[in-house]
């Protein structure tokens, strides 16, 4: 079995499992005032400090959520609504055209239902944000921009975004910037304080932690309007019982991922480079997508001409290699990726996408398996052609 879909979710590490196993045995609601509550609270706050240390922010800036999607929703909806409340003329919402659906669909929803003026920032052929376009968009009327959201790195094609430039540009006009950093923890150094971001989304399960927990890192003076209403457990911004064992797991994952970042990146980027070189050398009609060098260390994304991604996926799966088409998939129904379309690919080419994402447990044996399997898989998938001929 060769698991090459770490960008979808990563295997939990032993330290995470052990920490959570111990935490599950602790009784107490972190919001209770008695000693049991205090015991649980202490574990949460220690974990908050560990997460803060891992991403370079103050512990008070960490607002735990149920994961990346909730954090993105809170950032897009909550920050736009807050801006509207304070500055009614700030109604433009600028998001990159290659955002995860958690950002894109939140933004679309705000445009459809709340009057946000949504503009998508175009990307180049590598999926990298076009700064010239963003600059022109802002300069058209800087005082009307409520929020900019640009992901740290793209989840499908792996390209790193010019976030420092985005923040520097936005800062000239006092525009807050949110970034979805779900894919980058443990993959690139993240320093929230140095980044100048107003808000940043992180998630535990992409770097060895459990599913169902993430955080919106928020500068202390940034207070989005809540999306979930209730007990106000997290800074009165996020309600819901604080899931202590998940938070403990997230902290253990972030600590481990950041501690091993350099060695991990060196190892998997070398494996990935090997994978890319050998796949291209097969000459099976593969084209590497995303930026050739400035990309996530574990990401290799290709399109295979004349093939349907879901056919490739199924045949790879049957051969024991687990990969992804890299596209959104609600009912299990594959569609051409909005990311690839935004990069200028035609729909037919985009439908031939396959994403290999390497992680902590990846080895050369995984790469060998891919390279061994691909020629026959591509040949068969190409023969099957496109499903909607």
Partner 1 sequence: MKVLAAMSGGVDSAVAAARIADAGHEVTGMHLALSNNPQSFRSGARGCCSLEDSRDARRAADIIGIPFYVWDLAEQFRRDVVEDFVAEYAAGRTPNPCLRCNERIKFAAVLDRALALGFDAVATGHYARVLVGPQGVEMHRALDPSKDQSYVLGVLEQWQLEKSLFPLGDSLKREVREEADRRGLTVARKPDSHDICFIADGDTAGWLEERLGEQRGEIVDAVSGEVLGEHQGAYRFTVGQRRGTGLSVPAADGAPRYVTSIEPSTRRVFVGPPTLLDVNVIDGMKAHWCQGLPTAGQTVGVQVRAHGTEVAATVVAVDDADVTLRTHEPIRGLAAGQAAVMYEGSRVIGAVTVAGSRRDS
- Looking at the Cβ atoms of 177 and 312, the one nearer to partner 1 is 312
Shortest spacing between CB 384 and partner 1, in angstroms: 4
Q: Is 314 in the site for partner 1 (CB under 8 A)?
A: yes
- Looking at the Cβ atoms of 29 and 335, the one nearer to partner 1 is 335
- Looking at the Cβ atoms of 26 and 314, the one nearer to partner 1 is 314
Q: Is 267 in the site for partner 1 (CB under 8 A)?
A: no
Q: Is 384 in the site for partner 1 (CB under 8 A)?
A: yes
In 3D space, the residue among 131, 137, 148, 134 whose CA is nearest the CA of residue 95 turns out to be: 148
Residues 6+ positions from 53 with CB-CB distance below 8 Å: 255
Apex 140 CA angle, 138 and 144, nearest 5: 65
Q: Is 381 in the site for partner 1 (CB under 8 A)?
A: yes
- According to CB under 8 A, which one of 311, 321, 342, 370 is a site residue for partner 1? 311
- Looking at the Cβ atoms of 56 and 306, the one nearer to partner 1 is 306
**Considering only 19-27, 176-184, 218-226, 315-323, which stretch makes contact with partner 1 by CB under 8 A?**
315-323
- According to CB under 8 A, which one of 310, 353, 362, 366 is a site residue for partner 1? 310
> Does residue 185 sit in helix, strand or coil?
coil
Residues 6+ positions from 120 with CB-CB distance below 8 Å: 94, 95, 96, 97, 342
Neighbouring CB atoms inside 10 A of 100's CB total 22
- Here's the x/- map for partner 1, 330-359, by CB under 8 A: it reads as -xxxxx------------------------
- According to CB under 8 A, which one of 22, 60, 277, 387 is a site residue for partner 1? 387
> Does residue 93 sit in helix, strand or coil?
strand
Measured CA to CA, the distance from residue 246 to residue 256 in angstroms comes to 15
Q: Is 156 in the site for partner 1 (CB under 8 A)?
A: no
337: left (phi over 0), alpha (psi -120 to 50) or beta: beta
**Considering only 20-28, 40-48, 199-207, 308-316, which stretch makes contact with partner 1 by CB under 8 A?**
308-316
- Looking at the Cβ atoms of 88 and 332, the one nearer to partner 1 is 332
Neighbouring CB atoms inside 10 A of 32's CB total 14
**Considering only 64-72, 202-210, 215-223, 327-335, which stretch makes contact with partner 1 by CB under 8 A?**
327-335
Q: Is 326 in the site for partner 1 (CB under 8 A)?
A: no
What are the Cα distances from residue 55, in Å, to 60, 97, 163, 208, 220?
A: 13, 25, 15, 15, 15
Query: Does 329 qualify as catalytic in the annotation?
Result: yes
Apex 256 CA angle, 192 and 300, nearest 5: 80
Measured CA to CA, the distance from residue 210 to residue 348 in angstroms comes to 36
**Positions that interact with partner 1 (CB under 8 A):** 310-311, 313-315, 317-318, 331-335, 380-381, 383-385, 387-389
- Catalytic residue numbers read 329
């Amino acid at each position: 079995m060769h698991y090459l879909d770490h960008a979808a979710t990563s295997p939990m590490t032993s330290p995470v499992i052990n920490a959570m196993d111990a935490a599950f045995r602790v009784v107490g609601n972190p919001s209770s005032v008695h000693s049991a509550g205090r015991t649980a609270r202490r574990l949460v706050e220690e974990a908050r400090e560990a997460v803060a240390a891992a991403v370079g922010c103050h512990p008070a800036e960490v607002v735990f959520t149920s994961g990346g999607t909730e954090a993105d929703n809170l950032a897009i909806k909550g920050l736009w609504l807050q801006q509207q409340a304070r500055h009614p003329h700030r109604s433009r919402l600028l998001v990159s055209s290659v955002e995860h659906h958690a950002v894109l669909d939140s933004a679309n929803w705000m445009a459809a239902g709340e009057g946000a003026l949504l503009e998508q920032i175009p990307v180049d052929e590598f999926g990298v944000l076009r700064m010239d376009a963003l600059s022109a968009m802002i300069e058209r009327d800087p005082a009307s921009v409520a929020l900019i959201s640009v992901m740290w790195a793209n989840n499908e094609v792996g390209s790193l975004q010019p976030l420092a430039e985005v923040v520097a540009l936005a800062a000239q006009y006092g525009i807050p910037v949110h970034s979805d950093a779900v894919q980058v923890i443990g993959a690139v150094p993240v320093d929230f304080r140095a980044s100048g971001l107003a808000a940043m989304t992180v998630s535990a399960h992409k770097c060895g932690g459990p599913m169902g927990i993430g955080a919106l890192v928020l500068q202390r003076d940034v207070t989005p309007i809540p999306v979930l209403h209730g007990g106000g457990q997290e800074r009165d911004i996020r309600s819901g019982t604080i899931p202590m064992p998940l938070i403990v797991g997230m902290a253990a994952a972030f600590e481990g991922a950041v501690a091993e970042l350099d060695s991990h990146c060196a190892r998997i980027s070398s494996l990935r480079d090997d994978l890319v070189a050998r796949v291209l050398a097969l000459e099976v009609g593969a084209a590497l997508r995303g930026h050739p060098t400035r990309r996530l260390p574990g990401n290799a994304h290709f399109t295979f001409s004349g093939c349907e991604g879901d056919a490739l996926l199924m045949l790879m799966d049957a051969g024991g290699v687990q990969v992804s088409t890299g596209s959104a998939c609600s009912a299990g129904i594959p569609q051409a990726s909005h990311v690839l379309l935004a990069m200028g690919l035609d729909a037919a080419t985009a439908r031939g996408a396959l994403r290999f994402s390497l992680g902590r447990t990846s080895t050369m044996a995984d790469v060998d398996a891919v390279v061994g399997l691909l020629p026959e898989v591509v040949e068969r998938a190409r023969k099957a052609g496109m499903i909607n001929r």
